[in-house]
Structure 1
Amino acid sequence: MQGQGDVEDMGNREVAEHGRSAGSGRSRLHGVVLGVPRFLVDGKPVSFRSRKAEGLLVRLCLTGDGRLSREMAANLFWQDSSEHHSRSSLRQTLLILRRALEDAGFDGLDSDKMNIRLDLERVTLDLEDLGTDGSDVPARLLIEKRLSERLFEGGEMLAEPFHNWLRLRRQQFHDQLRAFLEPMVRLDSGNWKRMEQAAVALLNLDPTHEPACRAFITARAVQGDYTGALRAYEDLWNVLEDEFDTQPSNETQSLIVDIKLGKFSDWLRRERMRLAEEAAQRAPASPATERTAGEHAPVVVQHVNPVIVVDQILQITEADQDIRLAKVFRHDLISRLVRFREWSVADEVTEELSRSAAPIYRVSISAMRAERSVSYSVTVKNSRTNAYVWGRNSAVDIGELFARQSMLVAEIAMAMNVNISAERLANMSRIPDASLDQYDRLLMGQRLHYTWKIEDSHQAEAILDRLIKDNPRFGPAYSSLAQIINSRHIVFPGQAQTPETLERSAGLARMALALDPFDSRGYLCAAWTLALQRRFEQAEAQHRQALELNDNDPWTALSAAHGLAYYGHREEALAIAYRHRENGLLTSPLHWSYFVGITCLCGDHAASIAAFRYLSDGYLGVEAWYVAALALTGEDEEARAQARHLKQRVTDRWVLPQPPDDADIARWIGNCFPISSPRTWDEIHQGLSSAGILLPADLAPEGATRR
């Protein structure tokens, strides 16, 4: 193994090489962002008088296009300051950054009143030296442990919003490295040396990565180094037991038993046969070696993630307290499952989901409470084969119930042959520090808001307010309260949405993300608040962050796609919506509401009309999409009839004493839809106006022609 001195030598060579590479033409900036950050212009070090200037430069380097709005930059470091102070501080920081770079000869940083831009064509980063688009394991991954955690070392001390962004970026970098390395540790990769190197790299990133450990053990055993194989197993056992109070999986233990019994060759033969059978099942029928003209190329079979459906819990008793416990237990389990992108979680098995190619697993739970303990049984059933693939009976103290949930997630994953390391499971399925009573109050608040009664919504707000006061570290309470505030004017026509209420919602969303920056649904909450505030660039960034965290959760993906549709990203939004429809993941009225809105906003009005049949009641705004889609496909008479029906329903639900006129209803509809795309606004305006609903001109985005 190479030591720290080797790493320093690599860094010195790196500096020299970048100095030599600077030839004629404009100067180039090189950033060393793994470890303590360093920047060089044509090989010469650049120093900054401000750590925030350095942080801003790193943030620009790691954007996709080198562009960052001034508002977003100010919020990274001075979120809690006044607007005047944050803008003034940003100007000073930019001045420091620009002067230091220009004094060193680099003029690729530019800004105007709205945006800051870095010319990324003249920027290189040490991240690129890892070469994750190649076929070899980069040497640095074999040397350093937990390299992803060293991205911009020390940056967590700058400001909380920057720290939250940095934590996410580190996790994304970790996932990129993992995705690059994991295919190399498969037994059918055929390259023992590369498999061993990839296993070492993965274990350096995450010492609890069991498939990597098995690959390393296998590679050493193939070479006859059984001592090294057993030592690796002992290391895995120790880290799992010491840090996570668990043991290696049965699969790993079985491999070690065969090695100790001298049956490794038998194990290797069985594994190769199993992999060959799996490959044969996945592969389409073999095409002919040559195809005549007009024949189609063979279909490429794409991987489809499994879908989990958690059934309602079967209770032995019907006491109110036991019913609440069952609902809380199920809600908490689902809230953990939706954080992983290895699968999707559906509300139920619909006809569309049954027709899809996705493997479907049903999780069934029965429970019985006895004083302060709970006995429960969990089974996982493969709905395609009707075979039960896993089951467990447990009895725990009520106080320990939620502490067992992360282990339950791991066991469900194992039943579906999905590998999740113990460390990643602990990071992604962390336990909120909340009591059973507090979980119960959270669910009660969420349920009350959607009874469609304004007095219940205010009671829900009061419940969540008290919950936050009782437990200021309970993140779901903040995001749930923000969702209530964001949606109240939509659920209850006539209820005003004010700058003050939106600012309160923004503060709640920020707190929720500060407590849990890996919650994709927390980013949705922040995104919709920003969209309602007409801060569209920041809203889009938050919607995209939610997608990056988990685009396999239907709620996350469809809600984010709805946002992208408002911002005019039609092809991208439609692709997400169609993928979820084709995979059978539109399993609730909420999902279909999003689908109707996305397809209408993006111009597929026929799909919007067809999808509307899945909705019978609920959110009134979705009927406006239906009206617009009908009008834009030439169904004028039906559109006008549906518009009259919509107006009557809005009037029936109007919460103000004075009944609304047509202008009031049109303004309510316009305020429900934060559209920033002029083209989209013009189309929706045309459709609704031809049906008799004229959107107010002052709500139109800049550049719209229909006002």
Structure 2
Amino acid sequence: MLRIRMLGGFSAECAGRPVRFSTRKVAALLALLTLRPGAHMSRARLAAMLWPESAEGAARTSLRQGLATLRRDLGDAEDGLIRAAGDAIIIPAELVECDVSALEAALAASGRIGDVAVLFAGDLLDGLDAGAEPFEDWRRAEAARLRDRVTGALTAALACAGSDERSIALAEALLALEPAAEEAHQALMRVHLARGALGAAMRQYERCRAALARELGVVSSPETEALHRRIRAPRHVQEDSGPTLAVLPFTDLSMDPGQAWFARAFAEDLTAELGRFSVLRVIATASVLAVRPHAASPKEVAERLGARYLLTGSVRRGGAQVRLVADLTDVLDERHLWSQRLDLSPERMQAAADELVAAVAGTLVKRLEQDLVQEARAKPAADLRAWECWLRGLSLLRTGAPEHQGNAEALFRRALALDPGFARAEAGLSLAHFNEWSCMAWDRWAERERGAYTHALRAVELDPADALAHFILGRVLLYRRNFAKGEHHLARAEALNPNDADMQTQLALTHCVLGQPERGREAAALAARLNPFHDDWYYAYAAMPEFCLGDYEAALALAQRAPEIAADMDAYRAASEAHLGHMVEARKALDRFRARFRERITFGRDPRPDEPARWLAHVNPFARQEDLARLLGGVRLAGLDVPDDLLRGVPHPSPAGTAAPVST
């Protein structure tokens, strides 16, 4: 049995072992015989395609020699795999498994478009140069035929797909083939819009414009521009667990009937934003509007809707200002929990409306979550429901105190006992393992790393729409150096919940790990807008993009405000000071790092001279070597022993900011 791979390259297995071809022409000969298994290939055509420069007799002699060599390479006896049929050569179809045949079958069958996207791994016989122009002409024509068929099938399927996971897979597969396929860009923009992932939708729009200009030299279509205008219109998918909140229509206090639309639109957009936070179940706007006219009071609205929390507000336009007020009330306990007042100029209202929605939504959920955590802490563990266990366990992890780690894990396991399908409990266990693995349990690295990965993967399997589960899995994969998969899950997390302030803060770090510090800086800024009263650990993450962008003064200023959340923070401080030429401060920071390393990493043992540097390289999984060189080069300047093999071939930044080659 022959197993042939022709898409994206060429390889073969015969009787379960890889085939090593004596020459490229011999490999090309097998490709001609197996592209359509069972087809008769005349000797004259084979000779002409592979030995066109030879006379007919000499070409046939070369063909006989090529067939003999091919049989030897395959370990094939006479009339075994390769058989004569008059003046033709044939390999029986039942003896061949070929990826092209599988692709053709998937294209011909209805309902197998997903298989098409998976099977098409690249152009036909890509990279196989037989040194014969007729063969290359044939290869190009066949490759174009297959590519056109796959592109057409994906395009047709995409036109019938909705805004779901299937359309994402189809669009991404189509863009891999045709980067300027505008319909694929549009489909991804619609998916992001449906999820309220405005940043992702905008980035897709920008990719579309760039691809159209680069590949075709044209501008985007009116349909794409219409999608661009709709980017700031988020919607949501509701969650079934957690507390229930209703957003009442905001009151327009401007006394201008022409402006009443904004109060209504703002409340609807705020409802959509809140719906993407899984800690909440948000009543649909249509249900609120159906109940509100028939209820005597806001409390009655809440009771009819089964909502514990009510968000009310007002909008007033007057003079050069628009004032918006929002209030959150716990109807059950009749407590006022939170309020916010925002003032904007009328000319900025349209441009700022969506940013305003995001800011209120992000801040509201943080405040609401804190209230729920306080409530959960007051209850005995035996009475906690699954989501309350999750909240309480998460609050313990956020303290960063090692003594709370075990209690948090126990709460997550309690949540799973109450609800075995609760994805957040699996995510919490992954986070607990991750925190120990990446920050504390250096003596149990393999065990905790395996636990972090296993629980995160389980969380995503239980709930593919859980942004936190995708985020944790993405971070674990980065530490495993699986950057492509890690970036995929991190992007999915951001698309599912782009206004989670805590996640945006940590994306500031992951963007840097992936070599995108500008995006990291933007994520840190967004997190600060969403949660202006954030915890001090936000500063530690915000410092990373500044360091990776070479703004060491800004990095140091932010790090100065951050608590010691990681053992390598002083290493970054030392590197920053050294790059600035502040060698006294650099050495002081390096001494603090060495002391913390001996305390937390080697547990009192004197480390080997190169051990701290190798540890830094291990726990800072930068995708780009130059980013790791920025850190290691800086601590080397400060006085740390950094082996050359960690920096070989990478420019070594000097204190003055110029690059000097590293000696090897």
TM-score, reference length from structure 1: 0.46
TM-score (norm 2): 0.49
Q: Considering Cα pairs closer than 8 Å and 6+ residues apart, tell me whether 1 or 2 has the greater RCO.
A: 1
Higher Cα radius of gyration: 2
